[in-house]
Amino acid sequence: MSTKIIEGVEYILKSSVEQIIKDRVSKVALRANTAEEKITDLNAQLDTYKQTASSVDILNTRIEELQSNLSKSEQKYTRYQSISKHGLSDPEMVEAIEWSYERAMSKLDNDKKSSLSDWLEVQVSNPSEAPTILRPHLKSLQSPTAPPAPTAPTTEGSPEQSLSPSQQSLRDAYSNPSPPVAPVAPPPSANRGAIPSPDEQNFWKEAAENPRFFEQHREEIKTRLADKHRRQ
């Protein structure tokens, strides 16, 4: 910077003054531009933060909504369990029970209110004191049911189960004999009531125990059975 002293006073040359002014203006302009850029950047960040904050608010609102729906669903499921365990699962019946419960609780102080499960237990155990709309349905739960029809006891190892196929066939033939067709009825036997001979006993024993013997003498067995049946 060039200066000149006149009468003891130092003066700056006009050319130098203009340069000084230009330098200062440039610095001021530079600072202004820097500040403006910083302001622009801060405004952009502020917009981003606002959008983020808005998204967070939306997410928080959505979370609260989902939590509320979940709570309602859990409450509804718990109530349905409490009602259905008594055999009351018809939708209209469930709705009537919930309405009666809400109506009953609305008349009580908070410290005296009970859960639907506990309230319904009381109504089921004492249907005469239950709300009118529920009374006939709750009384039907206590109606005695008809006892099951008795079944004939089966004893393990009974004759029915222990018979062999041949013995079963012999028993059926004796129970439902089909007498052979004969033109003339045989005369009454003179030996009615007599004890069977050993041969006859062996015959029936063999017929009962030997399937092959039974098949070979099927017709004779039927004849003897028919004869016994007539004599009896």
Q: Look up the pTM and report it.
A: 0.37
Cα–Cα distance for residue pair 91/162, rounded to 1 Å: 55
Cα–Cα distance for residue pair 65/56, rounded to 1 Å: 14
Please answer whether residues 31 and 12 qualify as being in contact, where contact means their C-beta atoms are separated by less than 8 angstroms: no
Report the pLDDT value the prediction gives residue 232, as an integer from 0 to 100: 64
CA distances from 213 to 104, 205, 228 (A): 84, 10, 20
Give me the DSSP letters along 34-60.
HHHHHHHHHHHHHHHHHHHHHHHHHHH
Report the pLDDT value the prediction gives residue 122, as an integer from 0 to 100: 92
Single out the residue of 156, 87, 148, 86 nearest to residue 117, CA to CA.
Answer: 86
Q: Give me the count of residues in the chain.
A: 232
Q: Please, how many CA atoms are within 13 Å of residue 134, restricted to the half-sphere of its CB?
A: 29
* Average pLDDT of the chain, as a whole number: 74
* 8-state DSSP, 147: P
* 8-state DSSP, 111: G
Q: Which residue type occupies 85?
A: K
Please answer whether residues 105 and 122 qualify as being in contact, where contact means their C-beta atoms are separated by less than 8 angstroms: no
Q: What is the pLDDT of residues 119-149, one digit of tens each?
A: 999 999 888 888 988 888 888 887 555 445 4
Report the pLDDT value the prediction gives residue 195, as an integer from 0 to 100: 44
- Which residues of the chain register pLDDT less than 50? 146-147, 149, 152-161, 177-187, 189-198
Please answer whether residues 80 and 94 qualify as being in contact, where contact means their C-beta atoms are separated by less than 8 angstroms: yes
Give me the DSSP letters along 17-38.
HHHHHHHHHHHHHHHHHHHHHH
Cα–Cα distance for residue pair 144/24, rounded to 1 Å: 108
Report the pLDDT value the prediction gives residue 180, as an integer from 0 to 100: 46
Positive or negative, the CA dihedral 89, 90, 92, 97 is negative
Residue 143 CA from chain centroid, whole number: 27
Report the pLDDT value the prediction gives residue 224, as an integer from 0 to 100: 83
Work out the number of other CB atoms within 10 angstroms of the CB of residue 105: 15
Q: What is the pLDDT of residues 164-189, one digit of tens each?
A: 555 565 556 555 544 444 444 444 54
- Structure tokens, 96: 């009537």
Report the pLDDT value the prediction gives residue 15, as an integer from 0 to 100: 66
- Structure tokens, 104: 């009953």
